[in-house]
Chains A and B, each alone.
Chain A
């Protein structure tokens, strides 16, 4: 994306914001651009680590699955009630076609 190391263009910041579905003000774009460059500069440290094979797993313990049994929790009505917009037992969302 960028020409020199750890430099981000305004367009790249806007592209990241688009991918992440974040509306940013012009002031935020300028601020994040500088801050992300400085953080990426710090992360350069990782490049000095030898590129050995093998990456880490979060836990050395085996996952333990629960029994495959039906369990009703919590009620659908309660879940629907905690959404921003709903009607009867349905969620109301913006239309997804025709844009």
Chain B
């Protein structure tokens, strides 16, 4: 039996049945992590010591016959933008290079309450701004399928760590595709829940009206299991949703026959790599053969989505990141007066993409431009939401490519921010509309993974996960593992 191939539930069952100990599981993953890090660089901080203490606590519970949580002994990676109490949390930014939070995010709290074990904090683009993890203030992460390629971003460290087998699953955040796009590039499952399904408390805020945390896993079942354990209302986040959390694993048992799958033409046009198109279309044909009804649909507002996103997000970024002033957290630079302390702390603490978005946000919110940009972007947002709502009267789930290409070369888009933004063209509309979506592996193009994106209606996680699970069961893509070059 290979511990590295067991599902999260099987890991827990093995620990409870004393087939192996939580310590053995954690040691197995930490040994992988150490081996992988020299070529992948998926972690800003590894927490070996703390992980072994947590694992021993689980083993002690098992030994004394105490009940254990649903994630007993399960080793997780946590994106560094998610606060972990007592453990360095930088958000990928130099301005927080020494920040040790005095509290933890609700998502982390909930998973720890289930006896999960944190093996480290995953690298990411600075404050989640980027699509390649090259904007990390510390170092870039490599794609386990080809270390000369990016893992995607911004949650690239989480995706790469799961793909490489450095942890059993991981948490990321998705503001404009930052879970789904790296999941697609790294050949793993990445789920962005409905806005509000999961608490944002303890996430370093990027764009508060779009941010959501979600899981990375090797299988749909593992992703659903993690969502189950982290979802639900939180008194610390007034935008979290109060609707009861369904049992997603029970939802799997419902038949998919008759489920209507919409294929929006706007996601298959110019800019989509021909081979990616072919692979995604083949996946849709596969789903049809499994019993869903495929319906061509149209979402005419899609051309506005990326532009709206790059107004709304920078606007919220410019406000949210005002908190990094060198006074309350992180690093302060010396200056002649208060103004200089602010400008030097921020000027030296932030990287180029963060500065660019803060400036853009400042511009679109300024008196003369507010109506033309920000208000107009909110109009586009309303139109996009209405467009999706109309289509979801005809279909239950939408199928699209996750990204227009496979993972690109490290450094190839670093000097062209707009080209980098275009990578998010299929994932951003989902955040604008607040919908749930999952990316699952659906094939390979020249040795690199391709992702299929399934989008659901509001709180439709059950539908997309059920469909994803049926596809996964009928295919082999999720069983493929990268042979990490350089090892």
Whether the Cβ atoms of B358 and A58 lie closer than 8 Å is no
Whether the Cβ atoms of B356 and A35 lie closer than 8 Å is yes
Whether the Cβ atoms of B355 and A46 lie closer than 8 Å is no
Whether the Cβ atoms of A61 and B378 lie closer than 8 Å is no
Within the complex, what minimum Cβ distance (angstroms) separates A20 from chain B? 5
Whether the Cβ atoms of A49 and B376 lie closer than 8 Å is yes
The residue of chain A having its C-beta at the shortest distance from the C-beta of B324 within the complex is: A21
Interface flags, A55-97, vs B, CB<8A=1, else 0: 1101111011111000001110011011111000001011110
Whether the Cβ atoms of B458 and A60 lie closer than 8 Å is yes
In chain B, positions 236-260 with a C-beta closer than 8 Å to chain A are 236, 238-243
Residue A52 interfacial (CB < 8 Å): yes
| Interface secondary structure of A, over-half rule | loop
Within the complex, what minimum Cβ distance (angstroms) separates B463 from chain A? 18
In chain B, positions 269-309 with a C-beta closer than 8 Å to chain A are 303-304, 306-308
Whether the Cβ atoms of B343 and A32 lie closer than 8 Å is no
Whether the Cβ atoms of B332 and A19 lie closer than 8 Å is no
Whether the Cβ atoms of B343 and A21 lie closer than 8 Å is yes
Given contacts A45-B304, A58-B195, A59-B196, contact A13 B359 (CB under 8 A): yes
Whether the Cβ atoms of A84 and B379 lie closer than 8 Å is no
Whether the Cβ atoms of A54 and B379 lie closer than 8 Å is yes
Residue B348 interfacial (CB < 8 Å): yes
Within the complex, what minimum Cβ distance (angstroms) separates A79 from chain B? 6
Stretch from B45-53, B98-106, B166-174 that touches the partner: B98-106
- Cα separation A96 to B342 with both chains bound (whole Å): 12
In-complex Cβ contact of B335 among A24, A38, A94 (8 A): A94
Given contacts A21-B342, A56-B382, contact A82 B101 (CB under 8 A): yes
Whether the Cβ atoms of B376 and A47 lie closer than 8 Å is yes
Within the complex, what minimum Cβ distance (angstroms) separates A63 from chain B? 4
> Cβ of A26: which chain B residues have Cβ within 8 Å of it?
none
> Cβ of B355: which chain A residues have Cβ within 8 Å of it?
22, 24, 28, 32
Stretch from B31-39, B367-375, B397-405 that touches the partner: B367-375
Interface residues on B, range: 35 or more
- Cα separation A6 to B325 with both chains bound (whole Å): 30
In-complex Cβ contact of B329 among A16, A17, A23, A83 (8 A): A83
- Cα separation A23 to B3 with both chains bound (whole Å): 50
Whether the Cβ atoms of A43 and B362 lie closer than 8 Å is no
Whether the Cβ atoms of A51 and B358 lie closer than 8 Å is no
The count of residues in chain A whose C-beta lies closer than 8 Å to any C-beta of chain B is: 54
Within the complex, what minimum Cβ distance (angstroms) separates B214 from chain A? 16
The residue of chain B having its C-beta at the shortest distance from the C-beta of A84 within the complex is: B332
> Cβ of A78: which chain B residues have Cβ within 8 Å of it?
102
> Cβ of B325: which chain A residues have Cβ within 8 Å of it?
21
The residue of chain B having its C-beta at the shortest distance from the C-beta of A93 within the complex is: B327
Whether the Cβ atoms of B381 and A56 lie closer than 8 Å is yes
In-complex Cβ contact of A56 among B99, B346, B385 (8 A): B385
> Cβ of A65: which chain B residues have Cβ within 8 Å of it?
238
- Cα separation A32 to B342 with both chains bound (whole Å): 20
In-complex Cβ contact of A43 among B242, B311, B346, B417 (8 A): B311
Within the complex, what minimum Cβ distance (angstroms) separates A86 from chain B? 10
> Cβ of B328: which chain A residues have Cβ within 8 Å of it?
83-84, 91
In-complex Cβ contact of A84 among B101, B326, B339, B383 (8 A): B326
Interface flags, B179-208, vs A, CB<8A=1, else 0: 000000000000000011000000000001
> Cβ of A43: which chain B residues have Cβ within 8 Å of it?
307, 310-311, 364, 373
- Cα separation A13 to B375 with both chains bound (whole Å): 22
In-complex Cβ contact of A75 among B102, B337, B373 (8 A): B102
Within the complex, what minimum Cβ distance (angstroms) separates A30 from chain B? 13
Q: List 10 A-B contacts (CB under 8 A).
A: A22-B358, A32-B359, A36-B359, A43-B364, A51-B376, A61-B196, A61-B243, A64-B238, A67-B235, A74-B102
B interface residues with partner A (beta carbon < 8 Å)? 99-103, 195-196, 208-210, 233, 235-236, 238-243, 303-304, 306-308, 310-311, 318, 322, 325-332, 335, 337-344, 346-348, 350, 352, 355-356, 358-360, 362-364, 366, 368, 372-373, 375-385, 417-418, 421, 434, 458
Nearest 10 Cβ contacts at the A-B interface: A23-B347, A58-B209, A55-B378, A66-B235, A78-B102, A56-B381, A84-B332, A56-B382, A23-B343, A21-B342
Besides the known contacts A51-B376, A78-B102, A81-B102, 4 further A-B residue pairs in the complex with CB atoms under 8 A apart: A36-B363, A55-B382, A56-B378, A73-B103
A interface residues with partner B (beta carbon < 8 Å)? 1, 13, 16-17, 19-24, 28, 31-32, 35-36, 38-40, 42-43, 45-47, 49, 51-52, 54-56, 58-61, 63-67, 73-75, 78-79, 81-85, 91, 93-96, 99
